[in-house]
C-alpha cells in the first residue's frame, strides 16, 4: 500500500494534532504535551509560521506526518532541516511510509540548498535507531542535547 505525500494545509491540523498525541503516548511523554490544537495551527500557519509539515495519506486518511523547521549551520554556512517529529500510525508501519517521508524531506532539503537533514531519537527506541542507521543516518554520540524550559527559561531570561 502506498501513501500519498503532500505539504500539510490548515485543514490537516486536527489530524496532525491527533498524530502528535499518539506520538506522545508512544514515547511515554503524554504528560509533557501541554499545547493545544490552536497552538499547532498558529505554529504551522500563523504569521510568522515556525514550522512546516508533510503528511502521508492512505485512502484519504492522514496516517503519518513529519514536522520540521529550518535551521542554519555556521560550519557549512548553509541552512538545514531539523526534523522535530516523524510518526506513522502503528497499523501503517513497515510499508515504507516513514522512508518515503524522510526521502521527501531529503529532496526538499536539497532543493532548498540545505546542507543537512538532522533529528534526534530517544535512546531506548531501538527499532527507530536501527531504521535510521539502515537509511544512512549517523548517530552523533558525542553530542548531548540541552534544553531550557518553563521556570528555568523564565529565570534565564530575567
Active site residues: 132
Instruction: Tell me which residue of 102, 109, 104 sits closest to 80, measured CA to CA.
Output: 109
Measure the CA–CA gap between 146 and 120, rounded to whole angstroms.
12
Q: Which three cell numbers stand for residue 127?
A: 527499532
Map residue 6 onto helix, strand or coil. strand
* Burial letters 55-92, b for 16+ CB under 10 A, else e: bbbbeeebbbbbbbeeeeeeeeeeebbebebbbbbeeb
Map residue 108 onto helix, strand or coil. helix
Amino acid at each position: 500500500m502506498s501513501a500519498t505525500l503532500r505539504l500539510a494545509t490548515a485543514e490537516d491540523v486536527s489530524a496532525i494534532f491527533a498524530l502528535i498525541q499518539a506520538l506522545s503516548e508512544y514515547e511515554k511523554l503524554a504528560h509533557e504535551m501541554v499545547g493545544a490544537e490552536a497552538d499547532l495551527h498558529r505554529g504551522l500557519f500563523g504569521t510568522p509560521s515556525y514550522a512546516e509539515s508533510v503528511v502521508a495519506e492512505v485512502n484519504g486518511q492522514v496516517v503519518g506526518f513529519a514536522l520540521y523547521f529550518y535551521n542554519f549551520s555556521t560550519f557549512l554556512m548553509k541552512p538545514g532541516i531539523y526534523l522535530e517529529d516523524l510518526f506513522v500510525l502503528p497499523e501503517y508501519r513497515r510499508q515504507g511510509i516513514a522512508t518515503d517521508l524522510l526521502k521527501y524531506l531529503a529532496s526538499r532539503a536539497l532543493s532548498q540548498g540545505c546542507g543537512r537533514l538532522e533529528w534526534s531519537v530517544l535512546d531506548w527506541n531501538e527499532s527507530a535507531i536501527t531504521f535510521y542507521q539502515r537509511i544512512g543516518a549517523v548517530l552523533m554520540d558525542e553530542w548531548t542535547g540541552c534544553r531550557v524550559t518553563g521556570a528555568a527559561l523564565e529565570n534565564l531570561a530575567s
